[in-house]
């Protein structure tokens, strides 16, 4: 095994976390046999009356570690803070990107660059948690992330697949929180391997398999009768949901090798590119929320050298994703989000040639799902130190995504301990970002 492979393996969840995550993820499959024709709007899985939605699904690309805004999508050519990274013109008149995004320069007409992002969290764990949930990390409660809120509020679309999937380790931040475990994402450690162990083992015929499952039910029924609690039932249900997924004709959605070689190459052969391709396949099958993580953005040292390594796979995968979604007509109602916990200091840390954590003014991207492309939203000063116009807090950013999805941002739901929570906390949607 090469070092690279070892590293890749190290990112994968252990067997135990995978299995428990699977249980939680699968638990959400097909739970509403009584779904009415209006189920998305009216049943408990989606008990919340939705607004008009311009987006039905989300691909959430998470740049873990804090992506440098100046070296990616918000360069400040000529400023003392810019460093050696050059800016290039994109196909949108007012938008320039860094030289590391030559492919994305041809697709910025689809993207809204939110340049005035502002967070109050300057540490990784806290910042990631805040970005995903709109709430600060606290010891006493775990908040649901946006993908869980969406599935809770709007209900499932494809009832044979999980509604929430996290690829490349997104499980650490994407979470069902205090919502039922079925809103947790199904974790996929490696996009290349897809969904593992979803077929009958070799040498086990259908007859034997059915007999085993029957026997299992008989044994479980007795136990379930004696200890009839939610937790016990959940484990039984997990088997049933897994069986329904095994039977789903949409299982192919998890297999990126089904894609033509030219498409696989367009997305790139690294884990992030493969993750984005898998995300597109899942979205195509109406999985509602897919997160793909790209880590390594914590460039305290050698920021400028590292950009040459970090950016190209994102440039490739993101431009392939946007072009591919667009050509399939899916970008109309699929929102693509590129988010990170904070930006990096405009001031260059000269000892290490790096940039440090900077939550005060940074950039995220939104595209598709009703978002106006080819524009920048918000302004920072000439060197990128402060937001000068149209500040967008983390909560506002999440509220904007929620607005696109038709989720009412003022709706309060109560946690098991009776505390009220909202999908984007106190965030107010920025409606101006929509076309």
Stretch that binds other proteins, among 46-54, 72-80, 210-218, 346-354 (CB under 8 A): 46-54
Which position among 323, 353, 356, 385 is part of the footprint of other proteins (CB under 8 A)? 323
Which position among 232, 263, 391, 413 is part of the footprint of other proteins (CB under 8 A)? 263
- Residue 62 belongs to what H/E stretch? strand 57-64
Give 49 or 308: the residue with its C-beta nearer to other proteins: 49
DSSP-derived secondary structure for 287-301: -SEEEEEEE----SS
CA distances 377 to 81, 137, 390, Å, are 21, 28, 7
> Residue 356, interface with other proteins (CB under 8 A)?
no
Give 18 or 421: the residue with its C-beta nearer to other proteins: 421
> Residue 20, interface with other proteins (CB under 8 A)?
no
Could you tell me whether strands 413-414 and 164-167 are parallel, antiparallel, or unpaired per DSSP bridges?
Answer: unpaired
> Residue 120, interface with other proteins (CB under 8 A)?
yes
> Residue 17, interface with other proteins (CB under 8 A)?
no
Nearest to 303 by CA among 363, 359, 343, 361: 343
Nearest to 68 by CA among 312, 317, 358: 358
> Residue 324, interface with other proteins (CB under 8 A)?
yes
Stretch that binds other proteins, among 5-13, 77-85, 156-164, 230-238 (CB under 8 A): 156-164
Which position among 44, 80, 84, 91 is part of the footprint of other proteins (CB under 8 A)? 91
- Determine contact, residues 138/127, Cβ cutoff 8 Å: no
- Determine contact, residues 333/435, Cβ cutoff 8 Å: no
- What residues contact 240, with CB distance under 8 A and at least 6 apart? none
Which position among 12, 32, 79, 109 is part of the footprint of other proteins (CB under 8 A)? 109
Which position among 37, 78, 203, 207 is part of the footprint of other proteins (CB under 8 A)? 37
Give 319 or 380: the residue with its C-beta nearer to other proteins: 319
Chain centroid to CA 14: how far? 21
| 49 CB-contact burial (10 Å; exposed 0-12 / middle 13-18 / buried 19+) | exposed
Give 255 or 332: the residue with its C-beta nearer to other proteins: 332
Give 70 or 322: the residue with its C-beta nearer to other proteins: 322
Nearest to 244 by CA among 15, 20, 25, 56: 25
Q: Which residues lie across from 58 on neighbouring strands? A: 289, 335
- Ranges within 273-312 binding other proteins (CB under 8 A): 284, 286
Q: How many residues does the chain have?
A: 435
Could you tell me whether strands 289-295 and 164-167 are parallel, antiparallel, or unpaired per DSSP bridges?
Answer: parallel
Which position among 45, 71, 115, 159 is part of the footprint of other proteins (CB under 8 A)? 159
Could you tell me whether strands 334-340 and 343-344 are parallel, antiparallel, or unpaired per DSSP bridges?
Answer: unpaired
Which position among 31, 54, 340, 363 is part of the footprint of other proteins (CB under 8 A)? 54
Which position among 32, 158, 295, 349 is part of the footprint of other proteins (CB under 8 A)? 158
Stretch that binds other proteins, among 3-11, 83-91, 174-182, 358-366 (CB under 8 A): 83-91
Stretch that binds other proteins, among 70-78, 133-141, 164-172, 225-233 (CB under 8 A): 133-141
How many residues belong to the site for other proteins (CB under 8 A)? Answer: 66
Stretch that binds other proteins, among 194-202, 203-211, 243-251, 357-365 (CB under 8 A): 243-251
3-state secondary structure of 105: helix
Per the rule left: phi > 0, alpha: psi between -120 and 50, beta: everything else, 418 is left
The beta strands (E) that lie in 328-422 are given as: 334-340, 343-344, 357-358, 362-367, 375-377, 379-380, 387-389, 392-393, 413-414, 420-421
| Smallest separation (angstroms) from other proteins to the CB of 235 | 24
CA distances 432 to 92, 236, 334, 398, Å, are 18, 47, 18, 14
Give 298 or 324: the residue with its C-beta nearer to other proteins: 324
CA pair distance 43, 303, nearest whole angstrom: 50
> Residue 111, interface with other proteins (CB under 8 A)?
no
> Residue 229, interface with other proteins (CB under 8 A)?
no
> Residue 418, interface with other proteins (CB under 8 A)?
yes
Which position among 23, 58, 95, 266 is part of the footprint of other proteins (CB under 8 A)? 266
> Residue 332, interface with other proteins (CB under 8 A)?
yes
Nearest to 87 by CA among 378, 376, 392: 376
- The residues of the shown chain that bind other proteins, judged by CB under 8 A, are 36-41, 49-54, 88-91, 102-103, 105-107, 109, 120, 135-136, 138, 140, 157-160, 248-250, 262-263, 265-266, 268-269, 284, 286, 316, 319-320, 323-324, 326-329, 332, 370, 406, 410, 417-419, 428-435
């Amino acid at each position: 095994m090469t070092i690279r492979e070892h590293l890749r393996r190290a990112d994968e969840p252990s067997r135990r976390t995978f299995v428990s995550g699977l249980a939680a993820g699968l638990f959400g499959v097909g739970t509403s046999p009584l779904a009415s024709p209006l189920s998305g709007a009216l049943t408990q899985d989606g008990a919340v009356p939705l607004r008009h939605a311009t987006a039905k699904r989300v691909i959430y690309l998470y740049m873990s570690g804090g992506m440098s805004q100046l070296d990616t999508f918000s360069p400040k050519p000529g400023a003392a803070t810019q460093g050696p990274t050059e800016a290039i013109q994109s196909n949108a008149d007012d938008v320039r990107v860094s030289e590391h995004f030559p492919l994305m320069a041809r697709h910025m007409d689809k993207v809204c660059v939110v340049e005035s992002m502002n967070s109050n969290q300057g540490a990784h764990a806290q910042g990631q948690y805040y970005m995903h949930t709109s709430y600060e990390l606290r010891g006493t409660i775990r908040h649901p992330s946006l993908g869980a809120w969406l599935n809770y509020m709007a209900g499932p679309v494809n009832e044979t697949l999980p509604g929430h999937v996290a690829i490349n380790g997104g499980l650490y931040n994407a979470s069902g929180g205090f919502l039922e475990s079925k809103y947790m994402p199904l974790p996929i450690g490696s996009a290349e391997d897809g969904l593992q162990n979803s077929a009958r083992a070799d040498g086990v015929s259908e007859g034997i398999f059915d007999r085993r499952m029957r026997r299992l039910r008989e044994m479980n029924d007795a136990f379930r009768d004696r200890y009839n609690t939610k937790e016990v039932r959940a484990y039984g249900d997990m088997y049933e949901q897994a069986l329904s997924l095994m039977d789903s004709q949409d299982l192919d959605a998890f297999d990126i090798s089904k894609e033509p070689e030219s498409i696989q190459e367009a997305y790139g052969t690294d884990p992030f590119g493969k993750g984005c391709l898998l995300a597109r396949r899942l979205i195509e099958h109406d999985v509602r929320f897919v997160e793909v993580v790209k880590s390594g953005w914590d460039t305290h040292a050698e920021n400028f050298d590292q950009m040459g390594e970090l950016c190209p796979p994102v440039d490739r995968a993101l431009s392939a994703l946007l072009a591919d979604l667009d050509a399939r007509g899916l970008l109309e109602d699929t929102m693509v989000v590129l988010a990170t916990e904070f930006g990096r200091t405009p001031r260059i840390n000269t000892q290490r040639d790096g940039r440090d954590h900077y939550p005060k003014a940074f950039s995220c991207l939104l595209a598709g799902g009703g978002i106006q492309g080819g524009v920048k939203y918000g302004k920072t000063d000439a060197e990128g130190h402060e937001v000068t116009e149209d500040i967008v807090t983390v909560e506002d950013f999440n509220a904007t995504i929620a607005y696109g999805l038709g989720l009412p941002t003022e709706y309060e739901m109560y946690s098991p301990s009776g505390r009220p929570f909202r999908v984007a906390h106190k965030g107010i949607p920025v409606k101006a970002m929509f076309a």
